[in-house]
């Protein structure tokens, strides 16, 4: 049975723009019909993988990192590029990954935010004095985020 455009999401995005949207990017899980409809040929490897196959490959890559902060950075990058895969990986390996995306590793990630920054998201602040110089003040803050971690 062939797949029609009615079988997948409708969006005005295509090509690079579609792949740059973390909520719509499916990586190598785009079907042949989707690759054709969304102008993705040549932008992805030719093999098509299921979500489960992608999760397995990403988990293997994640486990290749030596430290939790490296794994944290890997997962942040994955969330910034392919949210569907990020959440599938997280949910299917929650016990192993929760300490990386939450306490204690997320605390280290906040401390090293400037070194780990890849894309907008998370939090950052800059305070300037009336003369335009950067302020160095003791600051108390409560930070909330739309993100789940």
**Which pLDDT tens digit goes with each residue over 2-34?**
454 456 678 999 999 999 999 999 999 999 999
Give me the residue spans of the domains in the chain: 7-48, 51-119
Entry pTM: 0.68
The Cα–Cα gap between 30 and 36 comes to 10
Q: What is d(CA 136, CA 71) in angstroms, rounded to the nearest whole number?
A: 32
Domain 7-48 has CATH 1.10.1530.10: no
Q: What are the pLDDT digits (tens) for 66-119?
A: 999 899 889 989 999 999 999 999 999 999 998 888 877 777 767 766 665 555
Sign of the dihedral through C-alpha 74, 75, 80, 85: positive
According to CATH, the topology of domain 51-119 is: Hemocyanin, N-terminal domain (1.20.1370)
């Amino acid at each position: 049975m062939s797949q029609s455009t009615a079988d997948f999401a409708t969006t005005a995005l295509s090509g690079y723009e579609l792949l740059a949207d973390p909520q719509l990017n499916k990586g190598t899980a785009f079907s042949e019909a989707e690759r054709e409809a969304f102008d993705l040929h040549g932008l992805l490897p030719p093999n098509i993988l299921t979500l489960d196959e992608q999760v397995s490959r990403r988990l293997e890559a994640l486990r290749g990192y030596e430290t939790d902060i490296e794994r944290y950075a890997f997962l942040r990058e994955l969330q910034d590029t392919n949210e569907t895969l990020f959440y599938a990986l997280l949910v299917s390996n929650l016990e192993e990954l929760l300490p990386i995306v939450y306490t204690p590793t997320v605390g280290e990630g906040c401390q090293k935010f400037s070194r780990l920054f890849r894309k907008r998201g998370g939090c950052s602040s800059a305070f300037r004095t009336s003369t335009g110089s950067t302020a160095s003040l003791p600051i108390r803050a409560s930070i909330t985020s739309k993100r789940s971690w």
